[in-house]
Amino acid sequence: MQTVLVAGGAGFIGSHLCKALAEDYNIICVDNLITGDKKNIEELLSNHNFQFIEEDITKLNSEFRIQNSKLDYIFHLASPASPNAKSPRSYINYPIETLLVNSVGTYNLLELAQKTKARFLYASSSEVYGDPSISPQREDYFGNVNPNGPRSVYDEAKRFGEAMVMAFVRKFNLDARIVRIFNTYGPSMQKDDGRVISNFINQALEGRQITIYGDGSQTRSFCYIDDMVLGLKKAIFKEGLKGEVVNLGNPSEKTIKETALMVKDMLKSASEIVYHELPEDDPKRRNPDIEKAKRLLDWEPQVSFDKGLAETISYFKSL
Ligand code: UDP
């Protein structure tokens, strides 16, 4: 069996990925659990081919490097990812950790990939486009990013991470790929992560006010987790994609207000919709152009927003 290292494997996307790989690969899941949660991987802990290492990838020691000298693939999904300052898990509350895990952490994992000859995938983000002046966003758009605003700790960290990956591709001919993940949702999202989908569903379920930031005219395009995991697998396992940068997301664009109304309606909730101040630098539009993913990966999302929301609602109800 080949061996896959998943950094950030106890996070929302990472844990779903570990589960999807568990039958076919040896998995080494690395996570420092600052925003991830061991509960996400509980069912995998008894698998003989699954190993969890609680470790910070910005501080990989030589023992770790020696113990993990036989790797075939490395996924780098380790990073806080929520922009919501009110959430204890947000990158706003872990600014230094976010900058370091995407810079030093990326460097450490790339070095490990180089030594072990593993293929590498970096989870970048639609945030590299900042508050985009074009929509949909295609991979060759350079973005519109505030270099030192509150979101910069994530946006600039992901941009630096991409530059570091490409440096290893160009200088050492490493087989590394970059995916830019757009908003993703589904079961096992954390209830307190402050993301719009988890907030709206839990507010509606508990009869609390549904909080729209700004006037709700800003858009996002939500990708269901199962579609995302398939995209990630294709992006690393397909041959001939060295140095490629590919958007992964669902192109179906919704305003935040539409999203609030949909959640409220699906739950037949009596919650009042209230409007709060829009956070600084909140992107007005976000919508992936996925032509490249279709062409290179033969991938496009299959799960409708209705179906995905229903699954996510059932999950939160079950907690
Ligand atoms: N948002 C909102 N209410 C909430 C949480 C988020 O209106 O309770 C908005 C947020 O301002 C942004 C969008 O929903 O415009 C998506 O926010 P999220 O934090 O999920 O991720 P982002 O796409 O901004 O990284």
The answer to whether residue 238 sits within a structural domain is: yes
The answer to whether residue 274 sits within a structural domain is: no
The answer to whether residue 145 sits within a structural domain is: yes
The answer to whether residue 56 sits within a structural domain is: yes
What pLDDT is stored for residue 225 in this prediction? 98
- What's this model's pTM, rounded to 2 decimal places? 0.98
* Residues 18, 56: Cα–Cα separation, whole Å: 18
Q: Which atom of ligand 1 has the smallest separation from the CA of 82?
A: 19
Q: 202 C-alpha to center of ligand 1: Å? A: 14
The answer to whether residue 308 sits within a structural domain is: no
Tell me: cis bond preceding 95? Omega within 30 of 0 counts: no
Q: What angle do CA 8, 174, 234 make, to 5 degrees?
A: 55
Report the pocket of ligand 1 as residue ranges, CB < 6 Å: 82-84, 183, 194-196, 199, 211-213, 218, 220, 256, 279, 282
Q: Which atom of ligand 1 has the smallest separation from the CA of 183?
A: 23
What pLDDT is stored for residue 69 in this prediction? 79
Give the type of residue at 166: M
Say what percent of the chain tops pLDDT 70: 100
154 assigned to active site: yes
- 26-31 and 50-54 as β-strands: parallel, antiparallel, unpaired? parallel
- Ligand 1, atom 17, lies closest to the CA of 196
For the stretch 141-164, pLDDT in tens is: 999 999 999 999 999 999 999 999
The answer to whether residue 276 sits within a structural domain is: no
What pLDDT is stored for residue 67 in this prediction? 78
Considering 94, 154, 185, 224, which one is annotated as catalytic?
154
Distance of CA 66 to the CA centre of its chain: 28
Mean pLDDT of 164-190: 98
The answer to whether residue 181 sits within a structural domain is: yes
Q: 196 C-alpha to center of ligand 1: Å? A: 5
User: What CATH code is carried by the domain that includes residue 231?
Assistant: 3.40.50.720
131 forms beta bridges with none
For the stretch 213-230, pLDDT in tens is: 999 999 999 999 999 999
Question: Number of folded domains in the chain?
Answer: 1
Give the type of residue at 66: I
Say what percent of the chain tops pLDDT 90: 97
Three-class SS state of 5: strand
The answer to whether residue 165 sits within a structural domain is: yes
Q: What is the domain range of residue 164?
A: 3-185+222-252+285-302
